[in-house]
A and B are shown apart, each in its own frame.
Chain A
Amino acid sequence: MIYDSLIELLKWLSITGPAASAIAAFINSIFPVVFIIPFALFAVYLERKVSAHMQDRLGPMRVGWHGWLQSFADILKLIQKEDVVPAQADRWLFNIAPVLAFVGSYAAFAAIPFTSTYVGSGIDLGIIFIVAISSLVVASLLMAGWASNNKYSLLGAMRSAAQIISYEIPTVVVILTLLCVTGTLSLYQLSENQTGNIFNWMIFGGYSGGWQKFALIPFMLVGMVILFISTLAEVNRTPFDIPEAESELVAGYHTEYTGMKFAMFFLAEYANMFAVSAIVSALFFGGYQSPFGYVGKLLGISWLVPFEQLFWFTMKGMFFVFVQMWLRWTLPRLRVDQLMNMCWKYLIPISIANFLIVAFLMAL
């Protein structure tokens, strides 16, 4: 764990006690930011390229080779923009909301293991912590919508709150299903256990062995699909983007935001995208584990293994982010009643049935 080695390093520098742990914690918490911001820049570029090519266009081509500097140019523009606050807005809430949105999505990274040597916090209730802390996003969206004093913002915020709260239920039920199988809620433990090869991943019935492993495969598949759909809805991506439906609500809860505050919402959205992708991959696809062995272990270079794990973690996360984008440019937006139908009439009953069957199988 990087935190422990940091404490060791500080001890060597004759810094001990609460000061040492504070410094170590600070440095430890910097890593996800270092990861998220470049990722968000890249994901914005990827999104534009993917959408363009899916529509037989080219996307950004001007800034740098094939427009790879486009995101940096956008950020530069956003930094320079005037920070407009509507006259009738609730200033305090208006200013806090984007920060809170980013804090919510950033805090979720605390329990996500990036490699076997780095996880922000190795708490046992990791996944439950993530589900809980992502509710902060709902609060921030409601704040933003309410404080903007704009009907579109408020409508978007209400919709997003309704949507996120509804879709948390199937998410948690699928997590419960996994808890039945693995007996742990720590994403770090879960990822560690799925080591070895691709068939130890939860999607292939996990690492438990025995006949249950094969019996579990179809139910794991169903669980994975439900988790993916419901997390997709939680991050307000198309086809579940009714909170920011451009054609009806201008931009939803961030209609009134400009410049860096808008960028914060954007960053939070892309961080969320990666967070849910990381959760799906950690729960079902082995997290940071390689689908086969490690080159580092084969060559006896132990320091190479964490970098390989980071590579696999990023690749899996990117893959699911890509699938999210892929879906976005494939499916049209759901209507509000369709959205609620899908959650309450389909996802929740199926996930509960799935949970009961898996529980029964594991009890045998």
Chain B
Amino acid sequence: MKTYFENIYSALYTALVGMKITFKHLFTPAVTIQYPEVKPRMVERVRNRLYVNMDDCIGCDQCSRACPVSCITIETVKALPTDDIGKTSQGKKKALWVTQFDIDIAKCCFCQLCVFPCPTECIYMTDAYEFSELQRSNLVYKFATLSESEVAEKKANYAKLEAEKAAEKAAAAAAKAAAPKPAEAVEKPAATAPKPEVAKPEPTVTTAPAKPVTPEKKETDAVPQQESLPFSEPSADATVKPEDSTAAEKTNDTNSVS
């Protein structure tokens, strides 16, 4: 009989205690964040979308080489001595026109390895995380500031410069050759040696000192030989679908090399 009334009491009492708690919570502010309108603050040093401050970029290609998934493509053209590219914010003089600086953020694994080697700290992770696209091609971010015509102009300029230099050297060599031989008989092989090297750029007009496309290729070629053949193979297969035929060829190349 005693437990009977105790049961009644505890049932009513516990229900009331529970109701008190829920009633209190009726007036505590909600923890909900109204997402698209209100966004949560990201933590410091968050790793999201990459950004390149092109004003500071010197086109050194170090980020591209650091990237484990080769998602950064850089192409540069040497500037003419007369060109004024300006300086970085740290006062470094720029010597290269960056004609192409593409980051395929779809491939990016947000490892931040590209950020550390940058000598001017111009590539960094931002806290932007809403960049989904319907087309995969839209995820290739082009950071190069030069327009297509400008790029063509810079390349033409450089080719002209190279041609002029080559012509000059050729003329100098010719003049040397024409000049009295015996005096500089010893020097002659040394003078002729640079000749073919300088003459090289003449046919390939677009090549630049930094070698725009080749570094990537070099890397993919080099990596499997060094240590990680099994590592590079699947990653290349996974990230590159048939639409990217050049990359597929690349992987084939590496396979055949190995």
Q: Chain A: residues with CB nearer than 8 A to chain B?
A: 50, 52-58, 61, 225, 326-327, 329-331, 346, 350
Contact = CB atoms under 8 A, between A and B. Distances in A.
A200 B29 CA distance: 40
Given A53-B25, A53-B26, A326 B19 contact: yes
A57 B8 contact: no
Nearest 8 A/B pairs, CB to CB: A330-B18, A58-B32, A330-B22, A58-B30, A54-B22, A53-B26, A330-B19, A54-B25
B208 to A, nearest CB: 54
A114 to B, nearest CB: 29
B190 interface: no
B18 A56 contact: no
Contact of B22 (A225, A326, A346): A326
B34 interface: yes
A52 B22 CA distance: 11
A346 B31 CA distance: 40
B31 to A, nearest CB: 5
Contacts of B132: none
Contacts of B29: 56
Interface in B10-64: 12, 15, 18-19, 21-23, 25-32, 34
A74 to B, nearest CB: 20
A61 B22 CA distance: 21
> Interface SS of chain B: helix, strand, loop or mixed?
helix
Contact of B8 (A53, A55, A346): A346
Contact of B30 (A53, A225, A326, A329): A53
Contact of A57 (B12, B18, B22, B30): B30
A326 B25 CA distance: 11
Contacts of B23: 326
B30 A52 contact: yes
Nearest to B26: A53
A50, A56, A346, A350: residue with the most chain B Cβ atoms closer than 10 Å? A56
Given A54-B25, A56-B30, 6 more contacts: A53-B26, A53-B27, A56-B31, A56-B32, A326-B22, A327-B19
Contacts of B7: 346
Interface in B59-85: none
Nearest to A349: B4
Contacts of B34: 58, 61
A55 B23 CA distance: 10
Contacts of A52: 30
Nearest to B32: A58
A319 to B, nearest CB: 13
Given A327-B19, A331-B15, A331-B18, A56 B8 contact: no
A57 B26 contact: no
Nearest to B31: A56
A254 B8 CA distance: 33
B8, B23, B25: residue with the most chain A Cβ atoms closer than 10 Å? B25
Contacts of A54: 22, 25-26
A330 B15 contact: yes
A53 B12 CA distance: 24
A337 to B, nearest CB: 14
A330 B26 CA distance: 11
A329 B8 contact: no
Contacts of B28: 56
Contacts of A57: 30-32
A351 to B, nearest CB: 13
B25 A56 contact: yes
A134 to B, nearest CB: 25
A346 B7 CA distance: 9
29 contacts: A50-B26, A53-B25, A53-B26, A53-B27, A54-B22, A54-B25, A54-B26, A55-B25, A56-B25, A56-B28, A56-B30, A56-B32, A57-B30, A57-B31, A57-B32, A58-B30, A58-B32, A58-B34, A61-B34, A225-B12, A326-B19, A326-B22, A326-B23, A327-B15, A329-B22, A330-B21, A330-B22, A346-B7, A346-B8
B37 to A, nearest CB: 10
Contacts of B12: 225
A291 B22 CA distance: 27
Contacts of A53: 25-27, 30
B101 to A, nearest CB: 41
Contacts of A331: 15, 18
A194 to B, nearest CB: 26
Nearest to A50: B26
Contacts of A350: 8
A225 to B, nearest CB: 8
A316 B25 CA distance: 23
A326 B18 CA distance: 10
A350 B5 CA distance: 11
A274 to B, nearest CB: 21
Nearest to A341: B7
A62 B19 CA distance: 29
Contacts of A327: 15, 19
Contacts of A50: 26
